[in-house]
Amino acid sequence: MIKTWFITGASRGIGAEIAKAALAAGDNVVATGRDLARLETLFGCYGERVLSVQLDVAQEGQAALAVEAALRRFGRIDVAVNNAGYGQLGPFEENDVKAVERQFATNVFGVFHVCRAVLPVMRGQRSGHIFNISSIAGVAGMGGAALYCSAKFAIEGFSEALAQEVAQFGIHLTIVEPGAFRTDFLDNSSAALGGKGLQDYIEFSKKIKASSAANNHKQSGDPAKLGAILVRLAAEEAPPLRYLAGSDALQVVTGKLAAMGREIEQWRDRSLLTDGDFS
């Protein structure tokens, strides 16, 4: 069966490669993003198989309109990919409340808005698959990315709970946890860096900037390969709840789980001290 994919943040990076992989598999794509002209340039050659739609996921009304446009063209949505997002970097105290609000408006509420728009369609179909693009930063906290981590941790909890709610309707949900992928994520056009200039954080912030510059466009992950994998996962009868993408993702998350296990065992006796004796 030919599937229809609804992809946010499809104008570049991972989102664009997921769209290309779905098209290579013979599926239809609703490619959404804030830059409509860029979408049309990228996907115009695919003709009627692609619908390019301007969408700022932070605007709930736009998400609903984009889904309506998708249904008018293709009649259904089989796969939704919540990929749109960016990294608000820098120490927490270096970022003001506006930076916090912008990060959550896109990376958290944007996911909520799209899910709220596509879920009635998928419930009506009694089928569908949602991919929420998280990050290893949603599993293991990273100093210098407190806001980005908090947004991705929110997506992890939301997705795990939502998966349990919608399974009864034949809807699958997979949390994708990429490591570092070779995209423009660290470019100035994508990442944002808090800049209050607090004296205590000057050296720490310098290290963050230096690390970002050193790793930019040298990451080990291949976005095209990730796109191909997601197409394969969308064909699975029993897809995973979580998919770790990349050897670095495996290393970080297995290390985090091992450390958690050791700490749990170290403090096990005290964990048991809070149970009440109510008999």
- pLDDT tens for 49-108 read 999 999 999 999 999 999 999 999 999 999 999 999 999 989 999 999 999 999 999 999
Report the DSSP pairing between strands 171-178 and 242-245.
parallel
Asked whether the predicted pLDDT for residue 187 surpasses 60, the reply is no
Ordered domains of the chain (ranges, CATH): 4-269 (3.40.50.720)
Asked whether the predicted pLDDT for residue 272 surpasses 90, the reply is yes
- pLDDT tens for 193-241 read 677 788 888 888 778 777 666 676 666 668 999 999 999 999 999 999 9
Which sequence positions are flagged as catalytic?
134, 148, 152
Q: Could you give the CA distance from residue 197 to residue 73 in angstroms, rounded to a whole number?
A: 50
Residues 6+ apart with CB under 8 A from 173: 129, 130, 131, 132, 159, 162, 163, 166, 241
Q: What is the mean pLDDT of the chain?
A: 93
pLDDT at 183: 65
Region 126-151: mean pLDDT is 96
pLDDT at 213: 66
Sign of CA dihedral 216, 217, 218, 221: positive
